């Protein structure tokens, strides 16, 4: 509490250096901000419906609704002075102009899935630009493209595509409630990455509002900025309002299976083998492994469960041929497999069974948890002894909510050069690991126990994963790997510690683009790309 009022006081004193009216503004923000918006918006019809402040009864529900990580859904988490929910592009432009004018930091939120809550938390007075109402999707079947606004979820995108075509799809994330805005900004992958690469490998145009409040498209923003926003991480270059994507062909029948093997059913050998064959599998096959501990060993003892969670872009006969020749040890049978449409496979991977397709339109359909996740890239197969050490550590996590999700790269991912887009994890990656721990009780002690467990697990993994830099996936945001100093100094050196992990050498180009388009560092957060300081 003391800390907080000090920060606030400090901030006001800082503002005072620039202008006294500013201080008055902070004290009477809502009215002035709303007036400022009216002054700068082309469409003023609905201005009063756009701005929520703590006095509005729906402020909390609007704030909380898309927060995914329950760790940040607490009364003591920092709250925004205002939430702006634009209905028109000119509202986005006006909100940027007005936030700048009054020295308020802006956090941009689309789906709210950021692992560290950076789209809705800040330590200084801030505004949330919530894209939730900018969510239209226009699918052009003939052209095989779609324009999708950032506030849409990937589930809505899949639904709108499937509504118009049974043989077109899009290669984005597995969880339907993920927002397009943040997801595409960080790359975005799902069950078709081996065939078609990342979501951003299939983005062909975008509309962005920059720090000056100007609306740009691919042509007017130029290729450098267009490169940067396709994977350089959200919240650094501007507000992306919409994206034009190239849809991809999908067969009318796909096949899925999930096979669970415990240690007693040779999980260690199978997981070891999975590492060796994965990159050579046909691009039509996606087979991730989900690892967790359970009490399903003999007589209820602890064991590991490895789930081989698979999508094949084709029918069951072709799939069985592939698994028999490439991975006979898994013993996949016809009874294990189910044929379905591509859109049904989206529901299958999201954990639904029997629900209508409309569940993809439900923004709050997934279960919210308290969580801390991390990521790694593996370039050499991990020996069996290394795997056995992991299982030991999983048995220590006594609440049983630790998981790893491993997914192969190879295929299309290896064909795209490391510098084609900011996302650098391409050829040479065998697979990515997501480390997860989640829990359902909000106490600090519980949280710190799980967080320490996952940090120590991450240390254990160091010898087995990529080194110098130890690579990480920006969409699995992890502030443990380093942060900017949000109080002002966002120097290159400090930022490159985390930046090289997410972007390798592309980080330097991102810094150059940032310097060219937002030298004043208006769009900033704990892991935003810093401009060179002069
Ligand atoms: C349950 C769950 C499942 C997931 N599954 C996958 C998966 O299968 N594949 C995968 O690749 N990732 C997955 N992710 C990670 C997900 O891709 C990232 O968390 C992504 O950044 C979320 O986007 P969002 O719009 O929902 O998040 P937000 O929290 O709204 O935004 C994330 C970041 O992007 C910025 N941002 C948001 N909108 C914009 C915009 N319009 N313009 C500029 N910057 C913006 C924010 O400021 C923030 O920094 C998953 C996450 C969760 C919680
Ligand atoms: C202005 O916004 C209102 C309310 O959203 C809408 O009905 C109207 O069509 C818009 N006008 C223009 C010119 O865009
Ligand atoms: C919030 O409250 C103000 C003041 O009562 C009102 O003018 C505004 O319309 C409310 N905002 C919303 C989104 O309803
Ligand atoms: C399970 O427990 C029973 C009864 O205690 C015992 O007879 C049996 O040997 C145990 N099985 C294993 C695999 O440990
Ligand atoms: C696969 O099936 C064969 C024959 O039924 C069996 O001997 C073998 O142990 C199985 N392999 C695994 C890994 O379960
Ligand atoms: C959306 O999902 C939630 C959680 O499963 C559920 O409670 C709610 O009824 C669903 N809403 C709709 C409109 O289906």
In a shared domain, residues 177 and 306: no
Contact between 187 and 234 (Cβ < 8 Å): no
Using the mean position of ligand 3's atoms as its centre, give its distance from the Cα of residue 110 in Å. 22
Residue 351's pLDDT band (cuts 50, 70, 90): very high
Q: Is-contact 186 215, C-beta < 8 A?
A: no
Residues 6 or more apart from 350 whose CB is under 8 A from it? Answer: 155, 174, 175, 176, 360, 366
The H or E element that residue 465 is part of is none
Give tens-digit pLDDT for 67-84. Answer: 999 999 999 999 999 999
- Of all residues in the chain, what percent carry a pLDDT higher than 90? 84
Quote the longest CA-to-CA distance of the chain: 74
Q: In which element (H, E) is residue 370 found?
A: strand 370-378
- Is the separation of the CB atoms in 428 and 327 below 8 Å? no
Domain that holds residue 196: 137-249
pLDDT digits (tens, 9 = 90+) for 50-68: 999 999 999 999 999 999 9
60 C-alpha to center of ligand 5: Å? 55
Residue located nearest, by CA, to atom 8 of ligand 6: 365
Residue 345 falls inside a structural domain: no
- In this structure, the answer to whether residues 243 and 380 fall within a common structural domain is no
Instruction: Supply the CATH number for residue 141's domain.
Output: 3.30.465.10
Count of structural domains, the chain: 3
pLDDT recorded at residue 19: 45
Q: Is residue 521 part of a domain?
A: no
| Domain CATH code at residue 79 | 3.30.43.10
pLDDT digits (tens, 9 = 90+) for 251-310: 999 999 999 999 999 999 999 999 999 888 999 999 999 999 998 889 989 999 999 999
Q: What is the pLDDT of residue 10?
A: 39
Rounded alpha-carbon distances, angstroms, from residue 378 to 73, 197, 429, 434, 474: 33, 18, 6, 11, 16
End of a domain among 249, 284, 315? 249
Q: What is the pLDDT of residue 27?
A: 52
The reported pLDDT for the residue numbered 288 is: 98
- Residue 22 or residue 329, greater confidence: 329
CA of 111 to the centre of ligand 6 (A): 16
Check pocket membership of 179 for ligand 1, CB cut-off 6 A.
yes
For residue 268, give the ligand nearest its CA: 5
**Pairing label, strands 126-130, 82-84:** parallel
Output the CA–CA distances (angstroms, integers) from residue 442 to 46, 72, 236, 398, 479, in the order listed. Answer: 38, 10, 31, 17, 20
Same-domain status, 110 and 156? no
Q: Among 464, 485, 514, which residue terminates a domain?
A: 464
What value does the mean pLDDT take over residues 509-530?
96
Residue 500 has phi, psi (to 5 degrees) of -70, -30
Query: What is the C-alpha separation between 308 and 492, in angstroms, rounded?
Result: 42
117 with 152, same domain: the answer is no
Q: Are residues 57 and 151 in the same domain?
A: no
pLDDT band at 397 (very low <50, low <70, confident <90, very high): confident
pTM: 0.93
Look at ligand 2, atom 6, and give the residue with the nearest C-alpha. Answer: 45
Q: Are residues 229 and 302 in the same domain?
A: no
Q: How far is the CA of 270 from the centre of ligand 5 (A)?
A: 11
Q: Residue 408: beta bridge partners? A: 431
Express the helix, strand and coil content of the chain in percent, nearest 5 each.
40, 20, 40
520 C-beta neighbours (distance < 10 Å), count: 10
Residues 96 and 233 in one domain: no
Q: What is the number of alpha carbons within 13 Å of residue 66 lying toward its C-beta?
A: 30
Same domain, 376 and 313: yes
In a domain, 517, yes or no: no
Contacts of 193 (CB under 8 A, 6+ apart): 171, 286, 407, 409, 411, 412, 413
Q: Considering the domain boundaries, does residue 57 fall inside one?
A: yes
Quick check: 197 and 412 in contact, CB under 8 A?
yes
Same structural domain for residues 227 and 106? no
Can you give the pLDDT at residue 192?
98
Torsions phi, psi for 448 (to 5 deg): -70, -30
Boundary of a domain, candidates 222, 249, 276: 249
Evaluate whether residue 223 is within a structural domain: yes
Ligand 4 contact via 300 beta carbon (within 6 Å): no
| Residue closest to 525 by CA, chosen among 103, 179, 124 | 124
User: Are the C-beta atoms of 256 and 340 separated by less than 8 Å?
Assistant: yes
In a domain, 84, yes or no: yes
Based on the domain organization, do 92 and 220 belong to the same domain? no
Which residues are catalytic, by number?
Answer: 476
Contact between residue 434 and residue 521 where contact means Cβ atoms under 8 Å apart: no
Rg (CA), the chain: 23
Residue 525 within any structural domain of the chain? no
> 46-50, 97-101, 483-487: lowest mean pLDDT where?
483-487
Q: Which residue has tokens 């006969």?
A: 317
Q: Whose CA is nearest to atom 1 of ligand 3?
A: 56
What CATH number corresponds to the domain at position 314? Answer: 3.40.462.20
85 in the same domain as 29: yes
Based on the fold, state whether residues 234 and 268 are members of the same structural domain: no
Residue 27 lies in a domain: yes
């Amino acid at each position: 509490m003391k800390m907080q009022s000090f920060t606030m006081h400090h901030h006001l004193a800082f503002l005072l250096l620039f202008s006294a009216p500013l201080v008055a503004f902070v004290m009477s923000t809502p009215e002035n901000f709303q007036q400022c918006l009216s002054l700068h918006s082309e469409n003023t019809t609905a201005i009063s419906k756009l701005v929520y402040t703590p006095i509005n009864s729906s402020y909390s529900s609007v704030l909380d609704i898309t927060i995914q990580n329950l760790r940040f859904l607490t009364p003591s988490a920092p709250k925004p002075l205002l939430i702006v929910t634009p209905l028109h592009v000119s509202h986005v432009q006006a909100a940027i102009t007005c936030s700048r004018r009054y020295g308020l930091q802006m956090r941009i939120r689309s789906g709210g899935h950021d692992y560290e809550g950076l789209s809705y938390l800040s330590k200084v007075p801030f505004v949330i630009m919530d894209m939730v109402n900018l969510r239209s999707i226009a699918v052009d079947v003939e052209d095989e493209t779609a324009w999708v606004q950032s506030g849409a979820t990937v589930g809505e995108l899949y639904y709108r595509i499937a509504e118009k075509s049974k043989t077109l799809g899009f290669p984005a994330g597995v969880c339907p409630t993920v927002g397009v805005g943040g997801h595409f900004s960080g790359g975005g992958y799902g069950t078709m990455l081996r065939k078609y690469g990342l979501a951003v490998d299939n983005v062909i145009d975008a509309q962005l509002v920059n720090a000056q409040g100007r609306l740009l498209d691919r042509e007017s923003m130029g290729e450098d900025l267009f490169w940067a926003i396709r994977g350089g991480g959200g919240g650094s270059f501007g507000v992306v309002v919409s994206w034009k994507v190239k849809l991809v062909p999908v067969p009318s029948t796909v096949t899925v299976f999930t096979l669970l093997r415990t240690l007693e059913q040779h999980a260690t050998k199978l997981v070891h083998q999975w590492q060796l064959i994965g990159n050579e599998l046909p691009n039509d096959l996606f087979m991730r492994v989900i690892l967790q501990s359970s009490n399903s060993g003999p007589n209820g003892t602890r064991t590991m469960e490895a789930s081989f969670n698979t999508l094949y872009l084709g029918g069951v006969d072709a799939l069985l041929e592939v698994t028999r020749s490439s991975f006979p040890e898994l013993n996949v049978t016809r009874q294990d497999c189910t044929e379905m449409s591509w859109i049904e496979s989206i529901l299958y991977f999201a954990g639904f069974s029997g629900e209508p397709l409309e569940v993809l339109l439900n923004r709050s359909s997934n279960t919210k948890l308290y969580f801390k996740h991390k990521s790694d890239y593996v370039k050499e197969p991990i020996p069996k002894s290394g795997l056995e050490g992991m299982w030991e550590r999983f048995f220590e996590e006594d609440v049983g909510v630790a998981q790893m999700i491993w997914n192969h790269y190879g295929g299309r991912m290896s064909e795209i050069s490391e510098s084609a887009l900011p996302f650098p994890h391409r050829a040479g990656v065998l697979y990515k690991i997501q480390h997860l721990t989640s829990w359902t009780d909000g106490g600090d002690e519980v949280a710190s126990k799980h967080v320490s467990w996952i940090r120590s697990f991450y240390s254990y993994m160091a010898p087995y994963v990529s080194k110098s830099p130890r690579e990480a996936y920006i969409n699995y945001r992890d502030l443990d790997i380093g942060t900017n100093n949000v109080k002002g100094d966002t120097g290159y050196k400090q930022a490159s510690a985390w930046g090289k992990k997410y972007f390798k050498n592309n980080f330097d180009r991102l810094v150059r683009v940032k310097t060219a388009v937002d030298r004043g560092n208006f769009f900033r957060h704990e892991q935003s790309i810093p401009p060179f300081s002069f």
